[in-house]
């Protein structure tokens, strides 16, 4: 097997990391490396190509984003298993803004998601089996022992100062140098999203949202009397920026809500260049960006992906995050970095929830300061990627021909487009009768699109019970 060196790689006008990536890609295509084979290490390629470590890492990151390779923490890079299932189709147009009416379907879905008697293929969070319950309980006990008066008085309006400093350190790994004074701790990520929306829009305004988008965003928009204009989002590349600009110009959208990393429900991670273009576009039109990054730490890549906020020069990006999806949903510890809207967010916080409970903040702080959170996240990424791969392979083998499926770059969920006229909402109801929880696609749209889609969670470890549930779901889809 021949690997080129920097002196014999062709196409000198192409960036070096792309040339390296092309060489490795060709070796995989030619069968020199089979799916699952370990690829040459960064050190080995650095010596062979006589280039820097950064160049090799950048080449592997590009291949990983393209789905050609997969990274394994402390194990290196491996040739990925090609999927035989096509990605979901993407719409090509923007419809006029609509009044959001989520109705009873979302409430019914949430009841099913929280029903422990059902096979949990609906909740977009890791299983209890994967969460650090023991360590979290220890952190809670330590916090209570060290600060016994933790709940005897109100916490700071903006949250525990030490926790805000730790959050800024986490943001630094995502490419943003923030200020602890600009962070406001919230009661989960959902309060952060609601505060962000209330800070930038008023009843009657138009907000641009991705299609599909997280249904909690739609519920928040509905509660504010705001209209939503849906902008198509590609399962691999993210929101269509050309159509977003069209929506801003034509419908005078005052804000856009996006999930740039580990999109719910598609699992997309936008490229750094796309994030930069998104911010530049919205800056030109003086439009606020509400960036929902609650799943960002669950990206499968070795490097934590950048956030759009890292390109913000006008304070127009409101960054929302949460520890609920990675440590424990019941903690309800989220946060917002609101840029130029910080003062408005603080006023809104003071008249809604006033403050966030002290004890959960102290427990999260403990896990961050001790280094546990960083170690835990590294393990969680590996577990979730393995589970998503296992679920994907089973779905590809079991579901009807013509089923399309996302190829997530992070998180624990799959977005399935069912073949023909298969109705995802009817399948959701049939699945409930069979003891299985899933989420129908139409709740991810303000206008009821995606009726032939469903979302499946891969948060539970693979087991015979999960395998049987997927087989049952596939049979119901055929029927």
Tell me the per-residue pLDDT of 230-260, one tens digit each, with 9 for 90 and over. 999 999 999 999 999 999 999 999 999 999 9
Name the DSSP class of 305. P
Confidence of residue 7 (pLDDT cuts 50, 70, 90): very low
β-bridge partners, 255:
207, 288
pLDDT higher than 50, residue 10: no
261: in domain: yes
Instruction: Give the whole-angstrom CA distance, residue 140 versus residue 302.
Output: 30
User: Where are any strands of DSSP class E within 246-379?
Assistant: 255-258, 288-292, 317-322, 334-337
In this predicted model, what pLDDT tens digit does every residue of 25-63 receive, in sequence order?
Answer: 888 877 888 878 889 999 999 998 889 998 999 889 878
Considering the chain, what percentage of its residues have pLDDT values greater than 90?
67
432: in domain: yes
Closest CA to 20 of 332, 461, 53: 53
230 in the same domain as 345: yes
Instruction: Give the whole-angstrom CA distance, residue 220 versus residue 256.
Output: 13
pLDDT higher than 60, residue 5: no
354 in the same domain as 383: no
Give the domain CATH number at 457.
3.90.1150.10
68: in domain: yes
pTM of the full predicted structure? 0.84
199 in the same domain as 145: yes
Domain of residue 22: give its range.
Answer: 16-79
Interacting residues of 315 by C-beta distance below 8 A, sequence separation 6+: 339, 340, 341
Higher pLDDT, 277 or 150: 277
The domain boundary, picked from 320, 339, 373, lies at 373
In this predicted model, what pLDDT tens digit does every residue of 404-441 receive, in sequence order?
Answer: 999 999 999 999 999 988 999 999 999 999 999 999 99
11: in domain: no
Domains in the chain: how many in total?
Answer: 3
Query: How many residues make up the chain in this entry?
Result: 479
Confirm if 460 and 129 have CB atoms less than 8 A apart: yes
In this predicted model, what pLDDT tens digit does every residue of 186-208 receive, in sequence order?
Answer: 999 999 999 999 999 999 999 99
119 in the same domain as 50: no
Of the listed ranges 3-7, 47-51, 285-289, 412-416, the one predicted with least confidence: 3-7
The whole-number average pLDDT for the span 266-278 is: 96
The domain boundary, picked from 373, 392, 409, lies at 373
Confirm if 257 and 209 have CB atoms less than 8 A apart: yes
Instruction: Give the whole-angstrom CA distance, residue 350 versus residue 222.
Output: 22
Confidence of residue 21 (pLDDT cuts 50, 70, 90): confident
- DSSP track, 419-459: STT--HHHHHHHHHHTTEE-EEGGGG-TTS--TTEEEEE--
The whole-number average pLDDT for the span 296-322 is: 94
Q: Is 450 left (phi over 0), alpha (psi -120 to 50) or beta?
A: left
89: in domain: no
Instruction: Give the whole-angstrom CA distance, residue 177 versus residue 228.
Output: 32
137 in the same domain as 44: no
Give the domain CATH number at 68.
1.10.10.10
Confidence of residue 109 (pLDDT cuts 50, 70, 90): confident
The domain boundary, picked from 339, 355, 373, lies at 373
């Amino acid at each position: 097997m021949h690997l080129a060196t920097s002196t014999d790689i062709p196409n000198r006008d192409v960036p070096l990391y792309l040339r390296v990536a092309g060489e490795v890609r060709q070796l995989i295509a030619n069968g020199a490396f089979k799916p699952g084979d370990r690829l040459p290490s960064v050190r080995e390629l650095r010596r062979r190509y006589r280039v820097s470590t950064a160049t090799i890492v950048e080449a592997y990151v590009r291949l990983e984003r393209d789905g050609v390779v997969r990274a394994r923490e402390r194990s290196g890079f491996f040739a990925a298993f090609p999927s035989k299932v096509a990605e979901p189709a993407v719409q090509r147009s923007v419809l006029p803004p609509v009044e959001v009416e989520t109705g009873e379907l979302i409430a019914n879905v949430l009841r099913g998601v929280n029903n422990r008697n059902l096979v949990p293929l609906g909740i977009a969070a890791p299983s209890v089996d994967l969460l650090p319950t023991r360590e979290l309980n220890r952190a809670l006990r330590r916090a209570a022992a060290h600060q016994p008066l933790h709940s005897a008085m109100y916490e700071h309006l903006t949250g525990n100062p030490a926790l805000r400093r730790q959050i800024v350190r986490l943001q630094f790994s995502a490419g943003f140098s923030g200020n602890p004074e600009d962070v406001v701790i919230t009661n989960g990520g959902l309060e952060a999203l609601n505060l962000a929306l209330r800070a930038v829009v008023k009843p009657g305004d138009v907000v641009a949202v991705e299609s599909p988008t997280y249904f909690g965003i739609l519920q928040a928009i509905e509660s504010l009397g705001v209209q939503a204009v849906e902008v198509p989002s590609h399962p691999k590349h993210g929101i269509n920026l050309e159509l977003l600009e069209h929506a801003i110009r034509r419908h005078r959208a005052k804000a856009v809500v996006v999930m740039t990393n580990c999109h719910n429900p598609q699992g997309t991670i936008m490229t750094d260049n796309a994030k930069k273009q998104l911010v530049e576009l919205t800056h030109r039109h003086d439009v606020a960006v509400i960036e929902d990054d609650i799943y960002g730490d669950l990206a499968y890549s070795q490097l934590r992906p950048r956030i759009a906020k890292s390109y913000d020069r006008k304070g127009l990006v409101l960054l929302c995050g949460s520890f609920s999806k990675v440590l424990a949903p019941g903690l309800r510890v989220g946060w917002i970095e609101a840029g130029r809207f910080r003062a408005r967010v603080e006023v809104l916080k003071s008249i809604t929830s006033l403050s966030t409970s002290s004890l959960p903040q102290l427990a999260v702080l403990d896990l961050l300061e001790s280094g546990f959170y960083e170690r835990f996240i590294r393990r969680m990424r590996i577990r979730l990627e393995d589970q998503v791969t296992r679920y994907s392979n089973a779905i590809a083998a079991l579901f009807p021909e013509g089923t399309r499926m996302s190829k997530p770059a992070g998180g624990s969920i799959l977005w399935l487009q069912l073949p023909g006229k298969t109705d995802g909402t009817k399948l959701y109801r049939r699945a409930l009768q069979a003891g299985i929880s899933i989420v129908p696609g139409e709740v991810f749209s303000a206008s009821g699109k995606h009726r032939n889609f469903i979302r499946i969670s891969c948060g539970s470890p693979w087991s015979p019970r999960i395998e049987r549930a997927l087989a049952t779901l596939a049979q119901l889809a055929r029927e």
